[in-house]
């Protein structure tokens, strides 16, 4: 077997210890790795790098395309950017994969039978960092969900399920409320799901789904969801499996991938030979599958399972009466190495035959016909009632582009609002053509110009388009 | 005691049975109520009312300002609006209050000591329904968090804690990512919290907080959070308390309030005298406190607790070996009535002395100085690379308003992007003045006009403002 180049970072806090333990086990198991070490994290931040990562490190990552990363410490306060967000976005790591497994009765948990994999969309949603404050009172953040981004992560989830012999893929969304954004994610799930008739499919509204996950996680298998829900659900799953210290994760992109533990650098434990290296080790097991060394992955994983069921435990999972021996980081690694080649007897052993090819190829799609129908113009205004604003705006028009409705925090306030409705200084004024007609961009310029000339503080616009005749905007309710 | 007018709706499915049971108990307990009955729900929807509620019903609600509501059935498919969202927004019910309590050992749960109250902001966040699709690939939803909206619900949470002798208020946000929107919620929490030195305060990032809530809910007391997080967390809390059928909730506004069970109309159980009326009854207990009949509230609540610990259980909480007798809806109500005047012996009894006055008064604030600094213009564009777009846009300017940076899904792609970054057809082009300068609205009109004249599909704008010199917009990362 030829060696595969990977990039390794030892990180901060407990990072160096657990990376050391992990690499020793990989080496003893016969992993064929050519390791390039880079420096990331606290020291790099404090040297003045706002991203915690230097140019030479980028070069290594783009050469090897595989990153095994120990946790880092993010310095407190001051404009440091999240290293993980930076890497994820820059390398296009669109799928975050997090198994959460109970190792009952060897590790305490209230959910003995859970074995769930959460696949979280990793680049979109409210994490795009597009935020604006445009009035005294109101703060905005833009949630973006894209058709290709949804298709990629959903296809990845189904391919993953198939490769790993999983039976069911569940989708979590809130499309009863967010019909467009969560709606496209749900529609992609239904569409792509049809190509996988061998796999069971189900969709849950995220609130009820979350309740079910927290109470009976054993009813789920693979779950795919948008970024924010995935962020919350994967933390819940890791925690209730009883094993935050045992969780590994993979960040998968078309070209690159990054593998790390789910926990952080745990500064209080650093340098004490106490930390559990299992999270990083299980991330490395995912990496070995990714780079085409599945037999080594299985050898490491089975030896680790045997160690756990033999009751050789680090302090965090040690329990009187269940565990046999409390060990440190190094000794735990040695115990795993001693068991290389063995299979667990009570926990189910793993078998990884061939590295699954999980590249998500986007479907060719016909572009829809797009027509301009109107514009939502948002005003910062605090001079009176909704009725007064509505009356005043009725006089502004550009051809068939006319005021139709005003909302405040999404509630219709003109024409015909209710006096109980609390109004902020942030008004959405919807102007559009008659049904069946369209408008041109220059009409929006003209209308905008009139409003600005009349002294209105136009803070924001959102165009209203039709796609194949269907509105690309949510209707105003109530 | 004079009678209080309330509006009552019997709803659909199990609604009539559980409302009947509830009202019988309230009557026997001596509640002084003048009841106006309105019709809501499925029948009203199917008669053609898109909101499930008729004009005469609004009149009653606005007269009594107190609504005890049984669950309704929302007809499947078609453009029906959520009745709850309509009522909540129209009546300004800004705080959703949901206690989740374990009744161990009388009701099975994995979390015997939990007793948490989730207070959810009820009008803002991603629920404003402001969604747009403006390109082939990208769907947007606007998250709105307001300073007064945050202040109101947070102040309500602290007043609630104080009134009910609660020790701690926790805030869940994700302001490490959403620094503006979740940031203002967090800042309001810190600011208002200072006025309540007697109450312990803590803040959790929502993902880790959710994990902690799911695993050890007994560590929380009152938790306040924005709408979406609250939606998810309150379902988790209800579920893991072991008692979805036992949950009541209050929706509180400055002028009106609505009380209901947390569950729905459970059509399969309807008309069978099987449903547990406890959720609606506990909602009615909250209502009695709200309308100034705290002694009656305590009498009902204590009799109910005694019934539960006597093991008189409806089918949903009946467990062999724990329960004593399985009863129907009516018999359960009779058992509660039989125990009016008694206190529970093992579960802690309640005492409600006087109705807490929980009106949230907004603080007077100094308006900040607002200056226009630039504009983000979003384009639908798929004709080439980020570099090409950047070069082409460099030529458009209006005085000191010039192109500074372009992002795609929040990732900086010009100047100096990375080739690995996956780009959609949705480009944010940031134009602004030099640091220290400002611009005028007409410069935006001029720039917009140039871009439209050159054939660019400008889909959306977001102005960039400074407030007291501080940017009211998130910086571009990476
Ligand atoms: N991907 C990353 O690089 C990453 C991720 C998360 C956080 N962080 C950073 O890590 C630093 C610390 O964050 P944090 O304290 O919130 O979270 P943390 O590092 O995950 O540690 C929280 C606690 O979890 C336990 N723990 C974590 N890993 C463990 C292990 N391998 N073995 C045994 N116990 C373990 C320890 O609990 P006890 O002390 O109670 O035993 C530790 O104090 C921060 O600077 C944060 O920004 C980095
Ligand atoms: N506020 C509201 O008006 C409201 C809220 C939620 C849903 N809904 C509407 O209610 C309808 C049904 O929704 P759904 O089935 O998703 O949720 P659901 O009505 O809450 O019922 C789900 C299941 O929970 C159990 N359950 C609920 N209430 C119970 C009670 N009082 N006693 C005993 N068991 C109870 C039943 O389980 P088993 O059958 O397994 O015993 C029931 O089938 C839909 O039309 C929905 O739109 C209305």
Model confidence pLDDT, tens digit, residues A4-27: 999 999 999 999 999 999 999 999
Domain B110-240 has CATH 1.10.645.10: no
Among partner residues A126, A426, A458, which is closest to B441 by beta-carbon distance? Answer: A458
Q: Which residue of A lies nearest to B124 if distances are taken between CA atoms?
A: A409
Model confidence pLDDT, tens digit, residues B415-460: 988 777 788 999 999 999 999 999 999 999 999 999 999 999 999 9
pLDDT of residue A325: 96
User: For residue A386, how many other CB atoms are within 10 A of its CB?
Assistant: 23
Chain A residue numbers touching B174 (CB-CB < 8 A) = 126, 228, 231
- Residue scoring higher pLDDT (A307 or A177): A307
pLDDT of residue B348: 95
pLDDT of residue B213: 96
pLDDT of residue A79: 67
pLDDT of residue A356: 61
Q: Where in chain B is the domain with CATH 3.30.70.1570?
A: 370-471
Q: Please determine, for residue A414, whether its predicted confidence score (pLDDT) is greater than 70.
A: yes
Instruction: Return the CATH superfamily for domain B1-94+242-348.
Output: Isopropylmalate Dehydrogenase (3.40.718.10)
Contact B90, B55 (CB under 8 A): no
pLDDT of residue A51: 74
Chain B residue numbers touching A229 (CB-CB < 8 A) = 232
Chain A residue numbers touching B474 (CB-CB < 8 A) = 129-132
Model confidence pLDDT, tens digit, residues B333-387: 999 999 999 999 999 999 997 656 666 678 888 999 999 999 999 999 999 999 9
CATH fold, domain A4-338, is Isopropylmalate Dehydrogenase (3.40.718)
Residue A310's Cα: distance from chain center in Å?
35
Give CA angle at B460 (A136, B368), nearest 5°: 10
Model confidence pLDDT, tens digit, residues A451-460: 999 999 999 9
Q: Whose CA is nearest to atom 25 of ligand 1?
A: A266
**Structural class in CATH, domain A370-471:** alpha beta
Ligand 2 atom at minimum distance from B73 CA:
45
pLDDT of residue B362: 81
Give the neighbor-by-neighbor strand order of the sheet with A131-133: A131-133, A138-146, B138-146, B131-133
Mean pLDDT score across all residues of chain A: 93
Q: Which residue of A lies nearest to B49 if distances are taken between CA atoms?
A: A478
Mean pLDDT score across all residues of chain B: 93
What ipTM was estimated for this complex? Answer: 0.93
Model confidence pLDDT, tens digit, residues A37-51: 999 988 888 887 777
Model confidence pLDDT, tens digit, residues A375-389: 999 999 999 999 999
pLDDT of residue A411: 87
CB contact under 8 A, B460 and A465: no
Q: Where in chain B is the domain with CATH 3.40.718.10?
A: 1-94+242-348, 110-240
Q: Where in chain A is the domain with CATH 3.40.718.10?
A: 4-338
- Where does ligand 2 bind, in terms of residues with CB under 6 Å? B 14, 18, 71-74, 84, 245, 260, 263-269, 275-276, 279, 316
Model confidence pLDDT, tens digit, residues A192-240: 999 999 999 999 999 999 999 999 999 999 999 999 999 999 999 999 9
3-state secondary structure chain A: CCCEEEEEECCCCCHHHHHHHHHHHHHHCCCCEEEEEECECHHHHHCCCCCCECHHHHHHHHHHCEEEECCCCCCCCCCCCCHHHHHHHHCCEEEEEEEEECCCCCCCCCCCCCEEEEEEECCCEHHHCCEEECCCCEEEEEEEEEHHHHHHHHHHHHHHHHHCCCCEEEEEECCCCCCCHHHHHHHHHHHHHCCCCCCEEEEEEHHHHHHHHHHCHHHCCEEEECHHHHHHHHHHHHHHCCCHHHCEEEEEECCCEEEEECCCCCHHHCCCCCCCCHHHHHHHHHHHHHCCCHHHHHHHHHHHHHHHHCCEECCCCCCCCCCCEECCHHHHHHHHHHCCCCCCCCCCCCCCCCCCCCCCCCCCCCCCCEEEEEEEEEEECCCCCHHHHHHHHCCCEECCEEEEEEEECCEEEECCCCCCCCCCCEEEEEEECCCCCCCCHHHHHHHHHHHHHCCCEEEEEEEEEEECCEECECCCCC
CA distances to A143, A459, A464, B89, B383 from B133, in Å: 12, 19, 8, 24, 19
Model confidence pLDDT, tens digit, residues A279-305: 999 999 999 999 999 999 999 999 999
- pLDDT tens-digit profile, chain B (478 residues): 789 999 999 999 999 999 999 999 999 999 999 999 999 988 888 887 777 888 889 899 989 999 999 999 887 766 677 788 788 887 889 999 999 999 999 998 989 999 999 999 999 999 988 999 999 999 999 999 999 999 999 999 999 999 999 999 999 999 988 999 999 999 999 999 999 999 999 999 999 999 999 999 999 999 999 999 999 999 999 999 987 789 999 999 988 999 999 999 999 999 999 999 999 999 999 999 999 999 999 999 999 999 999 999 999 999 999 999 999 999 999 999 999 999 999 999 999 976 566 666 788 889 999 999 999 999 999 999 999 999 999 999 999 999 999 999 888 999 988 777 788 999 999 999 999 999 999 999 999 999 999 999 999 999 999 999 999 999 986 5
Phi/psi of residue B181, each to 5°? Answer: -70, -60
């Amino acid at each position: 077997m030829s060696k595969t180049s990977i990039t390794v970072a030892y990180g901060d806090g407990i990072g160096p210890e657990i990376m050391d333990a992990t690499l020793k086990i990989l080496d003893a198991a016969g992993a064929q790795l050519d390791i390039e070490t880079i420096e990331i994290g606290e020291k790099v931040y404090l040297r003045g790098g706002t991203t915690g990562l230097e140019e030479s490190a980028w070069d290594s990552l783009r050469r090897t395309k595989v990153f095994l990363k120990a946790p880092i410490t993010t310095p407190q306060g001051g404009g440091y950017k999240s290293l993980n967000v930076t890497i994820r976005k820059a390398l296009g790591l669109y799928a975050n994969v997090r198994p959460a497994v109970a190792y009952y009765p060897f590790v305490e948990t209230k959910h003995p039978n859970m074995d769930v994999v959460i696949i979280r969309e990793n680049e979109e949603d409210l994490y795009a960092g597009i935020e604006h404050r445009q009035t005294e009172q109101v703060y905005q953040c833009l949630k973006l969900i894209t058709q290709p981004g949804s298709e990629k992560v959903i296809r990845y989830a189904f391919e993953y399920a198939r490769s790993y012999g999983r039976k069911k893929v569940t989708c979590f969304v809130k499309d009863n409320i967010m019909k467009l954004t969560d709606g496209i994610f749900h529609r992609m799930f239904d569409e792509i799901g049809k190509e996988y008739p061998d796999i069971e499919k189900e969709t849950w509204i995220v609130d009820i789904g979350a309740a079910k996950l927290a109470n009976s996680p054993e009813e789920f298998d693979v779950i795919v969801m948008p970024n924010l829900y995935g962020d919350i659900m994967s933390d819940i799953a890791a925690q209730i499996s009883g094993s935050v210290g045992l969780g590994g994760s993979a960040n998968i992109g078309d070209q690159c991938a990054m593998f790390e533990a789910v926990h952080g650098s745990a500064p209080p434990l650093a340098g004490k030979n106490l930390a559990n290296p299992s999270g990083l080790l299980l991330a490395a097991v995912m990496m070995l599958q990714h780079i085409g060394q599945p037999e080594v992955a299985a050898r490491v994983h089975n030896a680790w399972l045997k160690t756990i069921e033999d009751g050789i435990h680090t302090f965090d999972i040690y329990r009187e009466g269940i565990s046999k021996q409390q060990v440190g980081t190094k000794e735990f690694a040695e115990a795993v190495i001693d068991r290389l080649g063995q299979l667990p007897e009570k926990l189910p052993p793993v078998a990884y035959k061939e590295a699954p090819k999980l590249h998500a190829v986007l479907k060719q799609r016909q572009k829809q016909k797009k027509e301009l129908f109107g514009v939502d113009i948002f005003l910062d205004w605090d001079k009176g009632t909704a009725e007064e604003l509505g009356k005043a705006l009725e006089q502004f028009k550009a051809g068939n582009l006319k005021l139709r409705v005003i909302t405040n925090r999404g509630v219709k306030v003109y024409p015909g609002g209710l006096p109980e409705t609390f109004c902020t200084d942030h008004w959405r004024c919807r102007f559009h053509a008659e049904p069946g007609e369209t408008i041109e961009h220059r009409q929006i310029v003209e209308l905008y110009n009139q409003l600005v000339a009349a002294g209105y503080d136009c803070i924001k616009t959102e165009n209203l388009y039709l796609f194949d005749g269907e509105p690309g905007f949510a209707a105003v309710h109530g």
